[in-house]
Amino acid sequence: MTKIQIELPDLTAKAASEAGLLTSQALDRLLTEALRQRQAADSLLSIADRVAGAGIEAMSMDEVNAEIRADRAERRQRAGGS
């Protein structure tokens, strides 16, 4: 286990403490989630670099929305929905 000490502005520390965010458990959850999000962002940026390098043309928002609608319809159909 590692012990850390941080400095925060008084108002931030007070608000975080009142919200229950300065406990070891809460900080562990916050940091774990921040690390997961950073890893996901790094992964997406890596994919974006590969797509750009491959010369794949970007989709328009209309195309993206059409793909999302088609995927949702397919999932509903597989789940037995309408």
Q: What does the DSSP assignment read for 24-42?
A: HHHHHHHHHHHHHHHHHHH
pLDDT (0 to 100) of residue 38: 97
- The domain limits of the chain are 21-78
Residue in 33, 2, 13, 65 with CA at minimum distance from that of residue 41:
33
**Per-residue confidence in pLDDT tens, the chain, 82 aa:** 999 999 999 999 999 999 999 999 999 999 999 999 999 999 999 988 888 888 888 889 999 999 999 999 999 999 986 6
Q: How many CA atoms lie within 13 A of 49 on its CB side?
A: 6
pTM of structure: 0.59
Query: Do the Cβ atoms of 26 and 20 come closer than 8 Å?
Result: yes
